[in-house]
Homo-oligomer: A and B are copies of this chain.
Amino acid sequence: MIHPGTGKPIVPDDLEPLFGHELIKQEFSTDRWIEIPEEVRQILAQWRCTPLYRARRLEEALDTPAKIFYKYEGVSPSGSHKTNSAIAQAYYNMKQGVKKITTETGAGQWGSALSMACSQFGLECVVYMVKCSFKQKPYRRALMETFGAQCIASPSDTTEAGRALLASNPDSTGSLGMAISEAVEIAARNEDTKYCLGSVLNHVCVHQSVIGQECITQMELADAYPDIVIGCCGGGSNFAGIAFPFIGRMLQGKEKIRAIGVEPSACPTLTKGTFAYDFGDTSHFTPLMKMFTLGSTFVPPGFHSGGLRYHGMAPMVSHTMALGLMEATSFHQLDTFKAGVAFAKAEGIVPAPESTHAVAATIKEALRCKEEGKSETILFNLSGHGHFDMQAYIDYHDGLVRDYVYPENEIAMALAGLPSVAE
């Protein structure tokens, strides 16, 4: 990470105003293993180990020789993988004496997870929710409020960043980048307040790696090992969570896999972005990170997978991509909803719109296996359920979901504004 003022690499102290101390240590750590504290495990144990399922009924419906497995993170209290890192982040902040946490949320998965985590440790929680999601998903907000959090539509008039954004576009539907700016501002200004991020950073991804680690043990029990590991990609944490432990084994000379990140065609960071230093937020409060990016000023169109509406990508996922250790692919949302409904009918679980991207890629690979007569083993991360996203399914049933054209001009403009960094 580069300090935007000095152009020099960030040191841990630079992040102290924003993040909890222990989390900063983890962000910079080069340790291969970081122990999950006992108090965090006690809570995670309520739903972990999460189930690994063989999708036999989906296999039958597709008439494919492929073996499909999925890890179901939707059994967590907030309904997605996000709780894995939320509990840890809230815990470390509580230990340090922090009183209040701010954050942003897109689809609401992260905001719900952090709200739940904060309620466990008696922390105040303020969530800036991307405005278009805030309107689409009143039940998400209700969930956060039930856990005792405050949920504010972003851009808002509660921060300088928000007021500036509203002044330039009063009708802004918001973006993750904007919401991050607001949440960061509040944390930077208040001594007893820290900021938490739901994806992108190393200390977030590391707490998601429990997903893939469990998968390795569970697949062993099933006497199987994946040829392909699939996860949807927004900020990168659920993909990193399931894929990195497998990629780690591959780097140790063990089993080879194909790791596939799946993104929305309307926000194609890995498939059409540039690998460069860029800001994590719209208002340029954050350090610069080397990552695949569509430009920090790019505002993705308002498609339903709010959790995938991010201009950047986890530096570790970007690095993995740059090293050629993973592939990326993209789908339009009409195709992902079609896949999601097919999955629900076969397996009985309604996927979150984000997760339908992983489902769509899985179905595509399973149909390729059928064409080629191969019985490959596919593992994908069903990162969350769609219980709070039923308006999206209503719109889909009613024919109101449309595909967004690849926003070429907007992305080109945003990329043209990339900061120049001497490496």
Contact = CB atoms under 8 A, between A and B. Distances in A.
Interface string A41-59: 0010011000101000100
A349 interface: yes
Interface stretch (A140-148, A196-204, A231-239): A140-148
A350 interface: yes
A315 to B, nearest CB: 31
Interface string A37-78: 000000100110001010001000000000000000001011
A364 B110 CA distance: 33
A295 interface: no
Contacts of A284: none
Nearest to A349: B77
A147 B397 contact: no
Interface stretch (A161-169, A323-331, A385-393): A385-393
B394 A138 contact: yes
A95 interface: no
Contacts of A387: 79, 139, 143, 385, 387-388
A95 B35 CA distance: 51
B394 A142 contact: yes
Interface string A116-160: 100110000000000000000011001101111000000000000
Contacts of A393: 142-143, 145-146
Contacts of A146: 341, 344-345, 350, 390, 393, 397
A388 B143 CA distance: 11
A119 B60 CA distance: 14
Contacts of A399: none
**Interface residue range, chain A:** 35 or more
A394 to B, nearest CB: 5
A5 interface: no
Interface string A293-314: 0000000000000000000000
Nearest to A141: B394
Q: How many copies of the shown chain assemble into the complex?
A: 2
Contact of A348 (B57, B119, B341, B346): B119
Contacts of A388: 387, 390
Contacts of A57: 120
A390 B138 contact: yes
Contacts of A142: 390-391, 393-394, 397
A345 B148 CA distance: 7
Given A119-B345, A387-B387, A391-B139, A145 B75 contact: no
A385 B74 CA distance: 13
Contact of A147 (B51, B116, B344, B394): B344
A148 B344 CA distance: 10
Contact of A143 (B46, B53, B350): B350
A390 B75 contact: no
Contacts of A347: 46, 77
B391 A77 contact: no
A348 B143 contact: no
A139 B46 contact: no
B348 A46 contact: yes
Interface string A94-120: 000000000000000000000010011
Contacts of A350: 143, 146
Contacts of A116: 348
Q: Which 5 A-B pairs have the closest CB atoms?
A: A139-B390, A77-B348, A387-B387, A142-B390, A142-B394
Given A139-B139, A146-B390, A385-B387, 8 more contacts: A46-B348, A57-B120, A75-B75, A119-B345, A139-B394, A142-B393, A142-B394, A146-B345
11 contacts: A46-B53, A46-B347, A57-B120, A77-B347, A77-B348, A119-B344, A138-B394, A139-B391, A142-B390, A143-B390, A385-B387
